[in-house]
Structure formats: C-alpha cells, structure tokens
Amino acid sequence: MTFRTLMMRIGSFIFGAFLLAEVSSANAMFINGGFETGDFTGWTVSDIGGGSSGVGVDGSAIPGESASFEPAFVNVRGGTQAAFAVVATSLGEFLSLSQTIDLAAGTYNTGFFMGNDNAAEFGINGAISNEHLGIFVDGNNIGFDVRFPDNSFPVGTLPTDTEEFSSEFSVLGGLHTIEFRISGSGNVRPGISVDDAFLNRVADNGISVPEPSTLAVFALGLLGLGMARRTRKTAW
Ligand SMILES: [Ca+2]
Ligand SMILES: [Ca+2]
C-alpha cells in the first residue's frame, strides 16, 4: 500500500466514523422503552409510597384492581406489552421509572404515553402533583407538556387512546438520569398504563464538545499517521 493510499483510507475512515458518531448521538434510546421484553428490563423501578407495578399485554387485567377503581386493564400503545401502575396521587404513591444514559451534549425531548383501557374517564384534572407525576432529569423536575384537551384524560381501548407526557431538557455530555414519575388522582388507586417511553436528541445547541468516540477516532488517525511514517522510514 502506498503512503497516499494509506492516507486516503485513514481519511475516509475518519469521515465515516464522524458520520457514525453523529447518527448514534442523535438516537439516544431507552433500553426496553416499549416494555416488549415483558418486564422492566433496563429500568430502575420503585413503587414509592405503596402501590404496585408490572408489565402486561393489551387488555389484561391489572392485578389488584377492581372494577370500581378504574382503569383496570392494560392499554398497549405499541407492540404487545405495556407497563402498568396502581397508584393514587393523594396517598403520595407513584411509580418511578428511570434509566441512566451516557448522553452527548445537546437538547433532548423525552417522555412517555399513559393509557386507560376502561370506558370511564380517568380524570387527572386538578389532582396533578408535580412531585408524583412528572419528568425528572438528574433529580430536577423539568415539567411536562400534556397534550390532551381540557385536562381530562381520554378513554378507549385503542393505541391512540393514550396521551403523551413530554418535555425538553439540555445537558452537557455525560451520564444523566431520566426519571418518569407516574401517578393518578383522587383517593382511589387507579391502574395506569405506560408505554413507548422515548428519548430523542433534538439539537446540539451549538455546544462543540468533542464526543469520546470522536476523540478515539482522532487518536486512531494519529496512530495511523505515525505508523505510516515509520513504514516509510523502514522502506526507504
Ligand atoms: Ca409496548
Ligand atoms: Ca387496548
């Protein structure tokens, strides 16, 4: 291989690795965000203040729920499985789901979908506790954008009968913990379905912090140059 060929190969390798780094950083993902493993694999789970939680298939009864405490069935938004929680805001109960992920610097959009498979309104109007239902990043409540009209939770058995809770946050590169706190309302303990947790990088904020993978590629490139020089010396 000539020195020129070697340099071209190193160059294209660096260029390709740059593209790879850009793609991977733009697709930060939760492990098992859709609960399709049938359990909480990837998640750190805590039933705070009581309550209970698990993962079930669409339409399956939520254990411990009775018909009077609605909703009593798992409503799946994507795939065949969804998580459920049996919690009541007024009792201080909530389900905590979190993952710690190595994020590139930038702004992210994250959230989850809540569902109700029972033909009765699951109102959370006026009963939302910011400590018990929300999105937390590194322990800080970043609020959420609830996209349903009139602040009343929709009903129905379809995947579309779920509502998105989401919010944006900006971080420097490194390990960050994203936590979803999930709860209901009132004095009863409604079962809530949770599915399709998501995490998307939406902007890099112009923060030009080299990513570890990029630095590693540069190091490899320099190593390649050094080897090329040495090869030339040996050959000549
Ligand atoms: Ca699912
Ligand atoms: Ca359903």
Residues of the chain with pLDDT under 70: 1-3, 5-8, 10-28, 66-70, 119-130, 147-154, 185-187, 206-236
> Are 105 and 172 in contact, with CB atoms under 8 Å apart?
yes
Q: What is the pLDDT of residue 231?
A: 52
Find the 184 Cα to ligand 1 centroid distance in Å. Answer: 20
Give me the DSSP letters along 15-48: HHHHHHHHHHHTT---TTTT-TTSS-TT-EEEEE
Find the 78 Cα to ligand 1 centroid distance in Å. Answer: 4
> Are 136 and 142 in contact, with CB atoms under 8 Å apart?
yes
Phi, psi of 9 (to 5 degrees): -65, -45
- DSSP E strands in 71-173: the ranges are 81-86, 94-103, 106-115, 134-137, 140-141, 145-146, 162-171
CA–CA separation, 235 and 136 (whole Å): 60
Those residues with Cβ within 8 angstroms of residue 23's Cβ, 6 or more apart along the chain or in another chain: none
Those residues with Cβ within 8 angstroms of residue 93's Cβ, 6 or more apart along the chain or in another chain: 47, 48, 49, 50, 51, 87, 132, 183, 189
- Say whether the peptide bond before residue 71 is cis (omega within 30 degrees of 0): yes
Say what the pTM is. 0.73
- pLDDT tens, position by position, 223-233: 565 555 555 55
CA–CA separation, 77 and 54 (whole Å): 16
Q: What is the pLDDT of residue 126?
A: 45
Q: Which residue carries 């018990």 as its tokens?
A: 132
With b for 16 or more beta-carbon neighbours within 10 A and e for fewer, the 93-129 pattern comes to bbbbbbbebebbbbebebbbbbbbbbeeebebeebbe
Number of other CB atoms surrounding residue 12 within 10 Å? 10
Secondary structure (3-state) at 178: strand
Ligand 1 ion local residues (Cβ < 5 A): 34-35, 78-79, 81-82, 195
The CA radius of gyration of the chain, in Å to the nearest whole number, is: 24
Residue type, 149: P
Find the 159 Cα to ligand 1 centroid distance in Å. Answer: 10
Q: Which ligand is nearest to the CA of 194?
A: 1
72's tokens? 């009593």
- pLDDT tens, position by position, 88-125: 877 788 999 999 999 999 999 999 998 877 755 555 54
Find the 224 Cα to ligand 2 centroid distance in Å. Answer: 56
